[in-house]
Structure 1
Amino acid sequence: MSDALINGFAGAGGGIIAQLITYPLQTVNTRQQTERDPKKARRKQGTIEQMCQVVKHEGWERLYGGLAPSLAGTAASQGVYYYFYQIFRSRAEASARARWKNGIGDGSVGMFSSLLVAALSGCVNVLLTNPIWVVVTRMQTHTKASKRTKLNHILPIPPAEALPIAAIEPPPYGTSHAVQELYNEAGFWGFWKGVLPTLIMVSNPSMQFMLYETLLKKLKEKHALSKKGTNGVTALEVFLLGAVAKLGATVVTYPLLVVKARLQAKQIIGGDKKHHYKGTLDAIMKMIHYEGFSGFYKGMSTKIVQSVFAAAILFMVKEELVKAARRLLTKDTILIDKV
């Protein structure tokens, strides 16, 4: 098995585990990003309080709305990203060694090359997996409304005679419903909504991996110079490096994440025009005009907790899976050689 495939499968496994652990935080954060009601926006609620409100009014299952396509998207995204990252990284390393033989450089991949490798991998990933994340956003932002509310708009039923919320449950909103709704609204190209800010958001994992690779390289050098004389790193050290790298990248690129979520969420057509976005630039201008620059940082604290924790878990699990796969392949090779 090639190194690219090992890293691809390990990345997918790490991504799935991280997603399962942090998904409720991601759901709450997506709702915070797409909240357009100024009255609700002014009411400062903590992340835990918002999670409790969702459970109280909509049930536990809403915290995991869109989990199935999200896990599929995570596996696809991380697998695609790490696969192409390893391919591009290997080529960059080969190029660096070739330059070193010619007396140029020190034979290692520089910061700019690391950034370029991460950016190219991210672009391939975005173009291939964007439709999955549009559907996930739709399912995360869908609120469980009661049929009673809809019936009261149609029938002249006095409030005292209206049916209780628990009496009539709305039909479940699943993946097929989200896909059909999106297709009816915007057609085939609707599945690539928000792709422009998402492509720009490639700078987030690019910065993340650039910081991670740089910090990892320095840590290995530090270990090599220590008394132990080894450049190996522990799972805890990888966890902390992943957290620091993701924190730096998230703070810089968060406004683009909010714009992307607004574009991918269900558009309010026929109502207030300030809630309907025609494209990336229109969304940015309307957010500045109606919400100010603070609108670009809605739910940032939740996102920092979720993304940093998820990234740290992903890096730690991915590195451990890569090590395990390589040990397994090495043992198989030794057994084959003995035979």
Structure 2
Amino acid sequence: MVVDLHFSFEDRLRNVTINIVEVERPDECAGCGLCAEVCPTGAIEVDERVRLDEDRCVACSFCVQACPRDVFRFYEVSFTELKPKRRPVRVPKADIEVRFIGVDLRTCDRCENRPCIEVCPTGVMREIIEEHRIDLDACHGCLECVKVCPYGSVTVELEVPQLKRRSNPRLNRELCVECNRCHEVCPTGAADNVPDGDPDPERCLGCYNCVAYCPTEALKRPDHRPRPKCTDEVFYIQPDMCIGCRICYDVCPVDAIRIEEITRMPVIMPDLCVRCGLCADACPTSAVDRVPTEEAEREVLRSRISDAFLGILTREMLEAAEEFGSTTRTERDVEEKLSELLERKMSEEMIRRVIEFEVKNVIEELMAEVVSGRDSRGP
């Protein structure tokens, strides 16, 4: 299934429920091929035994509804305390009609025990073999006869049943940031309606991949029941590991990452971050990590103060350079050296380290004043 992108991010797990389909009883498959016929993504193949391609399966439940032998099982997976909890879900079976029953009496005569008659719940096989008449309406299409026949003499063809689609996800337009992630993961193009409206009910399979991948939770399952959301941690960019590539800034779907005015380094705003984890996924140096929210708020405040303080220093350097004028060779050299020094430090993204080591005490005092002032005002 296409469900492995953000399932390492704890706070999102608490609000996401996914579905999976498994081939739980492969030995029960009678080879009718209905599952492969109804699968909308071509994830099922039936030859000597049934095979399910998990990468293409979207858990629409069509195979579960159509299978007369209960080969498939449908599960709902939710996350409690970061551990996946799997719960089997009963899916109503589709009404299956029999198109044809055939018995090759030439090979059937070799069989002495007639196990097909014994397992047939409606007596249809007894009528066929002993009375040579067929009542298609009486057959339920259980395929028990096909399964137990030792010579493969019994042939049953089933009609493709009418299947029920699951309800559409709901869209909250106010939360949608038009990141188009739902378009990318939707197997049928039903999400092309987003953000103008809910997914197309004619094409939606109810796989809810769009819900699982939506970074802002603008798309919800129709049966969604809100759970408590983890808010004690948030994503934070570690300055000593950040190389200033700004890839995180480009992928953030809610503009929660700002670029500092002077250092030109990215900073995540804790109050804007929706904890989708796309920035952490995209970072080439693993500089984005989870930290306690309070710690992130303190560090962001520190970096903003540092940026402002550096801005003052930068302006004073430029003003000092301009005061030299350009009347002599020596003065011009001084101005060029100052400009070159500033430009080199900015390009190498070393400003933050200069701040940390050369004006650390000043920053600490400013931080203490700001924090004490905020605490004195109260919540």
Greater strand proportion: 2
Larger radius of gyration: 2
Relative to its length, the structure with more helix (as a share) is 1
- The TM-score bracket by the shorter chain reads under 0.3
Flag the structure with more relative contact order, 1 or 2, with Cα contacts below 8 A and sequence separation at least 6. 1
TM-score (norm 2): 0.21
